[in-house]
Structure 1
Amino acid sequence: MKKEKFLSDIGFVPHNGGQEEAFMSEARFKILCNGRRWGKSLYAAVEAINYLFREKKRVWVVGPTYDLSRKVFREIYRYVRPRRRIWHPDGHCTDSKSEMRILTNWGTEILGKSADNPDSLIGEGLDLLIIDEAARIKEVIWDENLRPTLTDRQGKAIIISTPKGRNWFYRLWTRGKDPQFPLYKSWQHPTSDNPHIAPEEIEEARMTLPDRAFRQEYLAEFLEDTGGVFRNVRRLIRGTLRDPKPGERFFIGVDLAKYMDFTVITVLDERGDLVYFARFNQIDWNLQKERIRYISKRYPGKVVLDSTGVGDPIYDELRRDGLNVEGFRFTASSKEQLINNLSMLIEQGKLHYEDIPELINELEIFEYQITPSRNLKMSAPEGYHDDCVISLALAAWGLHSLFSKPVFFTRSDKY
């Protein structure tokens, strides 16, 4: 059934503050970050109802608690209840406290579930998974209980929440902004995008709530967590990509691909502007070396290259070719110095860069972690890349060497 006809048949008119665009999207994973009263529960219910018209589909509605799951389920049931004798001969629909279940006579089932009961999240594969208030659910529940339910049927997921810091929901949301994840699509809408909410209600909330609470709950902002390494990343975005000018000197950071990672080449000028950026993978090592040579010729200056492991022979070859290349060997201590230098330059506003989704997303999710042995670890969250961050950090390390160069963390011929 065409989606437009479906909406007409059930008599639902999605508002133009984001509901219609999200519903019409064919993305497999839809991640919606919305302010309070935007219409999340109603939107999710309509997505679920759409599956009731199909044969032998299995849909779950999951919330942090049964009460929160019931918000979406109540909207579904409101549509189904007058028709329940049509959906199933015995009218098997219930909104009781003990069970949230709808079963059609053509074998499609919708169940309400609670994330605070992981044992209830074990079952057969799903065609559609709806998670409401996802930011309040533990990451392990998504990783170990919910995501696997979509595997065998290649099911779709609609993940909705008001933000709560920069946890796993935020990191999943960033995937929908990254072209490297075409199955994901993300949206962000403040409460005011719902045309049915009176503006004076929002203004009253703004005047009476603490600023942080209003920004998170009504503006749907992902506020900085204490674990974030780089602060105010987006304030440094501006148009910086450009061709070189005669006589300029540049600083090139190269993070080489390892296994399934990406090779990233970042070029900064002496003012700290990012003038060139490239990200690629699954390219032969010889071609990667040729690309580095080409970029260093086009943007003459210093190349700072990750010479750890696979980067060691590449460093040697580029050095023999006469490139001004400095190898950076990664240890826990040297990486901390490298990242702290980048963090300081960003904090002081000494770098500027284009709005490159992959780079911005990596900077924003890069985090501090305390290991079980109480050591500090700085990295991307598990399952995410940090190649763009490392490449920028290496270029910034070269830029920093204009003023001081802590050579004991770098490789030289004497090393």
Structure 2
Amino acid sequence: MPGKNDPPVWWDIGVGREAHPGYYLGLMGIAPDPWQREVMAVNRDTLVLASRQAGKSTAAAALALHRAVSAGGTVLVVAPTERQSTELVLRVRKMAALAGLPLEAEGRTYLEMEGGGRVIALPAHPEGIRGYTAVMVVLDEAAYIPDDLYVAVRPMLAVTRGRVLAISTPAGKRGWFWREWHEGGDHWHRVRVSAEEVPRFSPEFLQAERLRVGERMFAQEYLAEFVEERQGALWRWEWFERPAFRVEAPPTDLVRVVVGVDPAASMAEGSAETGIVVAGLGADGHYYVLGDYSLRGSPEEWRARVLHAYHAHQADVIVAEKNQGGDMVEAIFRAANMDLPLRVVTATRGKAVRAEPVALLYEQGRVHHVGVLRELETQLTGWVPGDPVSPDRMDALVWAVTHLMNHTKVGLTYEEQLRYASR
């Protein structure tokens, strides 16, 4: 257990180690930001609307551990995917180890302390979380948690009169998180954190991010504003909220995996973003978006990212747009002596015409995202045909899924699909 030689932290070191959640942040060498102190000081249902990288998950982990120890009860962690909720529990476990708290039992999704108190990561579907009684529920990435999952959580606190801590960046003017923020009345304590209030962000970094991601995404991801869904957009947020849309992992019987690349329009180093999206075709005829590796960087930097995505997902082919530098893509890989299956495609039709068939697959429920691909999803729902700005991530997605669509035939067996897709 930590003793009197522990390094000083921001509050009086003489306060008992279980009397304040900030104790666990102090053990990690973290001085809480003002908004984190505010959240730690209240003991009621709380909504935290915050910028990316504001320290939401770290503060939530400290509060979860403190509550489990001080109340000796169960703290539940819920996120859009079990992988995300498990990540937060891993932070709790690290804090418990630094505090020297002896554990009675632990596993990938839970830890239980001697003398009572446990923290459990739950799956992201209502039928898998019923039956618990909790002293606290942490909702991580709460704006991406479906309404029915939130409704299933509330009764768990009825007996204990426990607390809900919902932390998130916004995800448009939709869903229970947005409604509670605007219409929940005095029931909630609300904390909003803009990136401009986060001391770790320099003004230069924020200005560069504004130029990189565009005003709409910057307002959502960094200024913590609820951005309205655009009228006329090909993609709808409601499609992303369907219970089966997000999956923890892709199926093991993927027929074909493609890395879609939309090279930056300008080849000047770091001047624009290159879209890099990986998608796979399942034997069930559905499409799975496996990852978004897009970045702003030099050709050498995004070549390395493409290679990482290709190998990480054991892809079959890389598809790159010629109009935005396809010839240059070939030259870059040849210069590195890399013999990869590269298909260079030419955009002969307008962007909207190419994107519509892919958007239709989403509408039909035939596309699934592995986890939350926040920047990609924001770009999809924020682009309207005719916009002058080129949506790099969307373009990379469209190239990848279009290639898969061209290598799909309905009604074939898995073995027949494999043969057809490899032609």
Output the TM-score relative to the length of structure 1.
Answer: 0.47
Structure number with greater Rg is 1
